[in-house]
Structure 1
Amino acid sequence: MLRIRDYGRVSEKQDTPVAESVPDATATDPQNPGQPAVKPVIAAKAAKRANASVIGMVIALLVCVLAFLPIVLMNPTPKSDGYRADIDVAAIAANAKDVAGFTPVAPEPGDTFRPNYARWESGSASGVPTWEVGFLTPKESFIGLVQTRKANPTWLLQQTNNAPVTGKRNAGGREWELRDAGKGNRSLVLEYKGTTIILSGPAGIDELSTLAAAVVKSADTVSPAPSSTP
């Protein structure tokens, strides 16, 4: 006898895992063709620290600016045209009078001529003691004044750069000897009241004449000094 057994069918449902998202394999790095693009990821804490560092640097910069600002405000830029030496030619000449044996001239050709030195030189090297004053001229040139009681021909040639005598120039009511080599410095020379006065420099003859007139005026107004041996 044939027996037929009916086995019950059991239906089992198995959970199918959800596929994770996979980066698109077709996206590539533009700098490395064929390689997947990589997106940098900054952690929140790292980003916070970076922002804090930037803010700290900005604050430090502002503190430095605020610290130096009062110093800048208290020291404004000078409005004058560069540095101007405060040389009191008359006072220095008065101090040199006794040792010089004569009263050195202290010309005042006007505010546009600026003295940049005034001194008494003992003449230890040349043997000729001199009173010397330097002037910056209105045309931004220079004239040097030298005065002495002990001039000699050799010293005179040295002071005028061996320039030949080319004529005379009236300035301050006196005839000055003009020595000019045609280039470089030119000189005006005057023998006056027992001293030799030389004006030399690259300045034009008009500026030399202006200073020469002021020299004569100063020489006419100074009081004589007691004679002495420098």
Structure 2
Amino acid sequence: MKALNLIAIFCFTTSVKLLAQTPQTIEADLLKSFKKIDYWDLQQSNGCDDANDSLVLANESFANKLKKYTAKCAFTINMHFNSLVKERVSIVTSADGLFRIYSWNTQLGGTMHVHKNLFQYKTSYGIRSDFSSYKEVDGESIYLKLYTVKTNYKTYYLGISMAVLWSGYTADFINAFAIENKKLNDKLKIIKTEGGLENGLSAQYDCTSLVNRNVKEVPYLSFNLKTQTIHLPLILTDGKITGKYVNYKFNGQYFEKIKS
């Protein structure tokens, strides 16, 4: 009985502390935590032996705090978090305000940048917050844009992210999401390709390759919200950047390839 009472007291105390948090105190706490990532990254660059372990712990601490606040405090989905954005935390929010992605560089990679992605979204049950489970992009790419595509029956979200795989080699991704059955579906397959329905598309650019030595401007994967068309750069099998695009237009149910 005492154990149950202690658990109840702990849960009540934790709930009260979270409810007492203001936007200002939450942002200040997150900023203080995030700055430790940069601190230990600098120590690692200076040759500190234990810096890598501390850098891992600093990332875990920031990730846990961010998840706690975004899962418990619904108003955080409307916060600008200007101080975090200034420190290069990417925060993109859907036009309807129901879905947001937080991304940051963990500084745990070398020439390959390793990012962490947290998804925050609203359901009829309230606010939810989960780390990305999509292995192709999780931990490697940073989300830079988030588009909202509405139909008569559903709302889809398209997230565009970018990965630095190594020096001179980068990749762009576009992935589809939807809030369904009070959960975020991050494996939604609404893009029709020759191989079947897919959740996303990607383009990889090796600017160090000899076949691309005359390329002056690298094209980027993009989405035109007005025409609801994905513009995917055409990269040949040998890695050559052509400057041309493969276009996928939304027909109300799927994105289908159209003639350029």
TM-score (ref. length: structure 2): 0.23
Q: Which has the higher strand share?
A: 2
Tell which has more relative contact order, 1 or 2 (C-alpha 8 A, sep 6+). 1
Give the structure with higher Rg (CA).
1
